[in-house]
Copies of this chain bind each other. A is one copy, B any other.
């Protein structure tokens, strides 16, 4: 039925047929997955480990724009975004469930593309798809992913346990996903004005990939364990550095000093920000979607994390009364504001 490379209507397969068709290439790789897709619920045995659970919902036109986000990339990204939350607990993701509502605008082939991205993420992160739901929507595409992970109880790291004098660290670099988005939005508006103009995206692979194919830092919990470091607090950077620091500081009842000149920026992020007349620091602070891990470690771990290629020390935790401050490049102290992306903010 699906050999024809044309358009197959969702209604032609039926709900159970569609689920079977979409999940046929997914294999169980984790010993903890006793039963995956095909029953009322999945069965998981984490034995002496605790179970971590996180849910995200992504809505077309709010979280993603299919005019420049290919379906396969979208599938990969929705999984990545959710697994990132498990990594942010210093845990390892092991299973996911995926619920999708889509309008009849989408063909079976389009949803196959989406699932090929989900499969690529499952394969890359060694995660099992163990359940979900597919249904119709009246408009657009809505995807909800729940990820399930495991960790030793004593290894779990929360947001609300940062300690005074902790070093503030971040993996990778920041602001790239936001600059990738700016570039895609610009080319979209150029295309809208003149559909004959080809998009000019050459030489921007890194920031485009940061936006279109972000990775969950599943390697960081392993790396930290190898270094003998257990963070006091951790969170992933989904809404921007400032917003995440705000969560850690308010929930831990501490303050912080963040050094502007320490914030890791890729040169491409820096250059494109300048071209767009944007402040590169603001891109890192408020951009979001980088899915790097932000964590605090005891000062005594300084030698273990200093100069590590995957980790940058960007500041330290202070007492609550000192507030949250950004030490600018010219040495001034400015109040830091949480300007993270807000789903209900009036635009």
Contacts and interface: CB of A to CB of B under 8 A. Distances in A.
A159 B41 CA distance: 10
A169 to B, nearest CB: 16
Contacts of A146: 53, 55, 97, 146
Interface in A50-72: 50-63
A33 to B, nearest CB: 10
A10 B344 CA distance: 6
Given A40-B159, A50-B34, A57-B135, A11 B251 contact: no
Copy number in this complex?
Answer: 2
A209 interface: no
B63 A14 contact: no
Interface string A7-26: 00011011110100000000
Given A35-B158, A101-B59, A142-B101, A343 B43 contact: no
B136 A41 contact: no
Interface in A62-90: 62-63, 84-86, 88-89
Given A41-B52, A153-B34, A99 B57 contact: yes
Nearest to A101: B59
29 contacts: A11-B345, A14-B344, A14-B345, A15-B342, A16-B342, A18-B344, A34-B50, A40-B85, A40-B89, A40-B159, A40-B235, A41-B89, A42-B53, A43-B156, A44-B52, A53-B97, A53-B146, A55-B99, A55-B132, A55-B146, A56-B133, A58-B135, A59-B136, A59-B138, A99-B144, A133-B144, A138-B139, A139-B139, A144-B144
A46 B43 contact: no
Nearest to A346: B11
Given A59-B135, A63-B135, A342-B14, A130 B85 contact: no
Most buried by B among A57, A88, A89: A57
Contacts of A46: 46, 51
A84 B75 CA distance: 29
Contacts of A52: 41-44
A287 interface: no
A41 B11 contact: no
A144 B133 CA distance: 9
Given A16-B342, A46-B51, A61-B138, 5 more contacts: A40-B85, A41-B88, A53-B131, A53-B148, A55-B132
